[in-house]
């Protein structure tokens, strides 16, 4: 039986979240997906698999309450902390003699933000 184009057989997501003194939040997330099938040059349909995709993310937040039911939150995160270049496919030369990896468009990314809630 030939696997479908999106047959990802293994999918693992692990998340760890912790709170320190009810004001600091720390989180880490690891994601793993086994490689999906692809058809290499002149081979059977979906006979080979791409390498596994992995990503490790981290986040940190600070919660600051003030006044009567008001708060301010600062947030920072890093996606793809290890800057892994996952392979999502291959491009072949016209004569199929060379193969080029299609990798992640984005490497490591940083996010920062804040939100405030003020009740009048």
Do residues 45 and 39 lie in contact, with contact meaning Cβ atoms separated by under 8 Å? yes
Q: What residues contact residue 120 under an 8 Å CB cut-off, 6+ apart?
A: none
Distance CA 90, CA 65 (A): 51
Per-residue pLDDT, 19: 95
The rounded mean pLDDT for the chain is 91
The answer, yes or no, to whether residue 8 has pLDDT greater than 90, is no
Cα torsion at 97, 46, 49, 36 (round to 10°)? 130
Share above pLDDT 70 across residues of the chain, in percent, rounded to a whole number: 98
Helix extents (H) in 19-91? none
In this prediction, residue 95 has a pLDDT band, given cuts at 50, 70 and 90, of confident
pLDDT in tens, 33-89: 998 988 887 777 888 899 999 999 999 999 999 988 899 999 999 999 999 999 999
Do residues 70 and 119 lie in contact, with contact meaning Cβ atoms separated by under 8 Å? yes
pTM over 0.85: no
Domain ranges of the chain: 11-115
């Amino acid at each position: 039986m030939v696997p479908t184009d999106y047959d990802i057989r293994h999918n693992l997501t692990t998340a760890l979240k912790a709170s320190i003194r009810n004001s600091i939040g720390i989180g880490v997330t690891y994601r793993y997906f086994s490689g999906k099938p692809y058809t290499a040059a002149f081979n059977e349909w979906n006979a080979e698999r791409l390498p596994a995709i992995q990503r490790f993310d981290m986040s940190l937040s600070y919660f600051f309450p003030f006044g009567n039911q008001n708060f301010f939150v600062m947030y920072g995160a890093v996606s793809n902390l290890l800057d892994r270049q996952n392979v999502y496919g291959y491009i072949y030369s016209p004569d199929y003699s060379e193969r080029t990896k299609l990798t992640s468009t984005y490497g490591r990314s940083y996010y920062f933000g804040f939100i405030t809630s003020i009740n009048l």
